[in-house]
Chain A
């Protein structure tokens, strides 16, 4: 072996990073499994049933607070799509296809993905901050010392709420993109864009366009909330740790969302879904 020490350190560092990454994913998978187990146990045993109160509270927290921003952002996405498509389609006399394009792009991808990015802040970062603060205040230890599972009490309602609200918000988001495109064409584009806009969109869209977007939305919701819970629960060392956890939640969430979107797009493409 004639590697220089610097190279060895690099190999070791890359190896350590990779192991750390695998451990991180493993930890999250374990948490998801535990959450799933508690959910199932709750169905079997009424005493362990997930209470409606905490779930509703989390749904309001995640959903109601973010619905305005999600809608606003998605309308703008519709505006951008309509305007950007108008010029390249004009020479081909195909501006009427703007409705078809917005439909597919919005329902399949931009609806879920932009909503998930917004929720990585509204849900993910706020979950991480909240749970991290609870760690610092010894509240998590207090739960465990009372033989109460933090996964059951804290993770399950947050993950479930984010999962459900993510899908609900995505449905709203899809229509907001479409609406943004329609309003833009009404305001600045030619009549052949907005006349018959909704009919063309309806004819273009298949059920699978809508469903594939919803599947992705659900996956994004799980990702964002799991990362938030995981980062929050592993906070160490005071307020500084909480700040770091919120930042990393947003960073990892966005990376996770894009990677997952890519993987799903490949799968849907291959299976022509």
Chain B
């Protein structure tokens, strides 16, 4: 846990992102990102839409690889692993995708059963029981027979979570778990995330831009902006920052504006100054 970080028995981070640069078509979406996630903690990564949160998550799970820098999980460089090594690692983490990403051609129960059938030697009855347990954990045991197309957005997210925990992972990744959900459903999902962390002791990495949800679930938080992490810290630090008056320091005020959801501040100021006049005045500027 972060409290112990300075102790002599400091735990090794389970995930370590080291100076990662990721470009798409020459444009650096991530431009020197470093981040460590420690065992058992819930790390919330925040940032504006399109700032590269999902990209960072994809780099952490080895579905994308960095152009520069490294990503380590359990002390191993993902880019040095071969397919088999990567697959072995993939069994140790689960991921809830932004859209749920259930397999549409399979029922809910079959979705959860698939990783169990493929990666374990359990017989069919045991798998059925496991599926029921996993679905019960997310409150969907009754819906096992339903097809994904028949589920609401919140149910899809929960079903995706049931699938993600099928193999009892050590790390869970969540991409915008509460985006597009009503406040109550969103709070329910947050509760599930906390349950997973509390009861199962998993390490969680949550990407979100819902501040209420972030403050509910986080142990530590990180703010991603313009391709870099501009602040990492405990939840209490971020809470203090949210509630303090303006500091005058650009980056700090930027984080503060994001946390508070203010309509005025460095983020909006930057938006206004980047090329707006140039666009309007045909490149003449002032």
Contact = CB atoms under 8 A, between A and B. Distances in A.
Given A146-B90, A147-B87, A141 B97 contact: yes
Contact of A148 (B58, B63, B99, B118): B118
B278 to A, nearest CB: 28
Contacts of B99: 137-138
A148 B98 contact: no
A199 interface: no
Interface size on A, as a range, is 10 to 19
Given A142-B95, A145-B95, A137 B101 contact: yes
B85 to A, nearest CB: 11
Contacts of A134: 103-104
A161 to B, nearest CB: 14
B114 A138 contact: no
Interface string B43-69: 000000000000000100101000000
B114 A145 contact: no
B14 interface: no
Contacts of A141: 58, 63, 97, 101
Interface string A127-149: 00000001001110111111110
Contact of B63 (A137, A139, A144): A144
Given A138-B97, A138-B98, A145 B61 contact: yes
Contacts of B58: 141
Contacts of A144: 63, 90
Interface size on B, as a range, is 20 to 34
Interface string B85-98: 01110110001011
Interface in A116-175: 134, 137-139, 141-148
A142 B97 contact: yes
A142 B101 contact: yes
B119 interface: yes
B115 interface: yes
Contact of A146 (B98, B104, B114): B114
Interface in B9-41: none
A143 B97 CA distance: 11
Contacts of B115: 146, 148
Contacts of B98: 138
Contacts of B63: 141, 144-145
A147 B101 contact: no
Nearest to A148: B118
B245 to A, nearest CB: 41
B102 to A, nearest CB: 8
A210 B101 CA distance: 46
A144 B115 CA distance: 11
B95 A137 contact: no
Residue among B58, B101, B115 facing the most chain A CB atoms (10 A cut-off):
B101
A231 B101 CA distance: 20
A57 B204 CA distance: 38
B91 A147 contact: yes
A139 B90 contact: no
A114 B279 CA distance: 54
B32 to A, nearest CB: 25
Q: Considering the complex of A and B, which 9 residue pairs feature the smallest CB-CB distances, nearest first?
A: A147-B87, A138-B101, A142-B101, A147-B90, A138-B97, A146-B115, A145-B95, A139-B101, A138-B99
Interface of B: 58, 61, 63, 86-88, 90-91, 95, 97-99, 101-104, 114-115, 118-119, 163
8 contacts: A137-B104, A138-B98, A139-B104, A141-B63, A147-B88, A147-B90, A147-B119, A148-B114
